Amino acid sequence: MMYYENGLLRARWASWRDARAGRTAQANARWGWIKAPGDRGPILWMQSFSDADQQRLGIELAKAMAEKRRDLRMVMTFETEYPALLKQHTEGAERLGYGFGPCDHPQAVGRMLERLSPLRYLALGRTPRPRLAAALGRGKIPAVLMAANPGPRIPVPLEAVYPRDARQAGAWAGRGVSEAVQEPVDFATLFTIAQVDPNFRAMVSGTDEGLLWWAQGLNAAQWAGWRQAWAASSLFRQGLLFLEGTDAPADLPRLSQWQRAPLPAGTVVVVDNDRWYPALSAAAQAVHLQTASPMLQWQVYAGSRPISISPGVILNAAEQLDADTILSLEDPTQILGHWQALRGDVMAARQRGDATRRIFWQERRHAGERLPEFLQRVFDW
């Protein structure tokens, strides 16, 4: 059950449902019954809510903090679990415990803070909910907010805010906490895979010149339109189309089941595992993002591929992009036509890809310069 607000009856109902379904850890954690890892050392509580990107950010920051401060124990809580992500990326993470977190009922957050007695609270991706924000204030527990838009209630004392971009920094303007707001930085660029073995294109298409195209973020109603447009496109005769989204048709092959043999031209493949993002970002001729998390966007930027987006997608480092670098398109036929034009203009395609790659490396260098500053803050706690 996904309920983490402050309603007593709904939270009790959610925990009862979880317990009946065997999710006792989630049921207990919703009411603050958390155990800290290890026996000694101060505790940092990191809250990553329901966003997979922010869980990954928390894990990577925890690894860096463990190197800087050897006595610090870290607890990362979340409201949605991503088992594959946790299994893949927590290996080697020292003094990090993780699990479901509390709901925002005063009893739950009070018990959580009593059991952890955290040295600091670090919110990843959003501000804490109102009851927790108030409890942090009463307990005089300093809060650090990372990659978070300002919420209705800002925790006090507020030690620092690390906006992920200029847009988010602007949202904090006028909130009366200007001294705490730091220069924008996106630490996610530091663990984006920037150098990828280029053999994926040859393996999947049978040739180094294979034409791969990737569209990400389809909903259930859009698969048929993409398949029809692809079958009618001249790209069908020589290329492979990779599609990712919800409710993929059962008759399409899955990339996770690919047997490392070349696929016939015209094949439509479902991207069903994010471990393929780096390879696709480097090998695709072009990428269309119908939806995309900031972390996926950095991966595509690093791949140096031409990008188009659907209306409403919020781009990383949008203020640094020229107006004609990334086109806004919606209809599959339009997008395939754009890809066909890029195939015929290699120089334009390269220039579009190079523009986003330069921005990625600028942001990565900036994050690398800022990380020691953040780690020094942790050391000084």
Domain boundaries in the chain? 29-184, 198-364
Q: Which of 104, 158, 102, 103 is nearest to 131 (CA)?
A: 104
Higher pLDDT among residues 322 and 104, named by residue: 104
With 80 as the cut, is the pLDDT of residue 22 above it?
A: yes
What pTM value is reported for the model?
0.92
With 80 as the cut, is the pLDDT of residue 323 above it?
A: no
- The CATH code belonging to domain 198-364 is 3.40.50.2000
Mean predicted confidence (pLDDT) in 13-21: 92
Higher pLDDT among residues 134 and 2, named by residue: 134
pLDDT for the residue numbered 1: 60
Mean predicted confidence (pLDDT) in 75-92: 94
How crowded is residue 40: how many other Cβ atoms within 10 Å of its Cβ?
A: 6
- For strands 43-47 and 73-78, give the pairing: parallel
Mean predicted confidence (pLDDT) in 125-151: 96
Same CATH topology for 29-184 and 198-364: the answer is yes
Mean predicted confidence (pLDDT) in 257-261: 94
pLDDT for the residue numbered 163: 96
47 and 77 Cβ atoms separated by less than 8 Å = yes
pLDDT for the residue numbered 2: 83
Mean predicted confidence (pLDDT) in 374-380: 97
Where residue 107 falls among pLDDT bands split at 50, 70, 90? very high
Percent of the chain whose pLDDT exceeds 70: 100
pLDDT for the residue numbered 158: 97
Mean predicted confidence (pLDDT) in 112-122: 97
pLDDT for the residue numbered 196: 84
Mean predicted confidence (pLDDT) in 345-361: 94
Where residue 263 falls among pLDDT bands split at 50, 70, 90? very high
pLDDT digits (tens, 9 = 90+) for 215-235: 999 999 999 999 999 999 999
Mean predicted confidence (pLDDT) in 338-362: 94
pLDDT digits (tens, 9 = 90+) for 24-34: 999 999 999 99
pLDDT for the residue numbered 319: 85
pLDDT for the residue numbered 151: 87
With 80 as the cut, is the pLDDT of residue 127 above it?
A: yes
Where residue 39 falls among pLDDT bands split at 50, 70, 90? confident
Q: Which residues contact 23 (CB under 8 A, 6 or more apart)?
A: none
pLDDT for the residue numbered 324: 77
Average pLDDT, the chain: 94
Where residue 73 falls among pLDDT bands split at 50, 70, 90? very high
SS (H, E, C) the chain: CCCCCCCHHHHHHHHHHHHHCCCHHHHHHCCCCCCCCCCCCCEEEEECCCCHHHHHHHHHHHHHHHHHCCCCEEEEEECCCCHHHHHHHCCCCCCEEEEECCCCCHHHHHHHHHHHCCCEEEEECCCCCHHHHHHHHHCCCCEEEECCCCCCCCCCCEEEEECCCHHHHHHHCCCCCCCCECCCCCHHHHHCCCCCCCCHHHHHHCCCCCEEEEEEEECHHHHHHHHHHHHHCHHHHCEEEEEEECCCCCCCCEHHHCCCCCCCCCCEEECCCHHHHHHHHHHCCEEEECCCCHHHHHHHHHCCCCEEECCCCCCCCHHHCCCCCCEECCCHHHHHHHHHHHHHCHHHHHHHHHHHHHHHHHHHHHHHHHHHHHHHHHHHC
Mean predicted confidence (pLDDT) in 200-206: 92
Name the token pair of 282.
């480097």
Length of the chain: 381
Lowest mean pLDDT among 88-92, 159-163, 186-190, 247-251: 88-92
Euclidean distance between CA atoms 378 and 63, whole angstroms? 13
pLDDT for the residue numbered 355: 94
- The CATH code belonging to domain 29-184 is 3.40.50.11720
Q: Which of 98, 89, 41 is nearest to 69 (CA)?
A: 41
With 80 as the cut, is the pLDDT of residue 57 above it?
A: yes
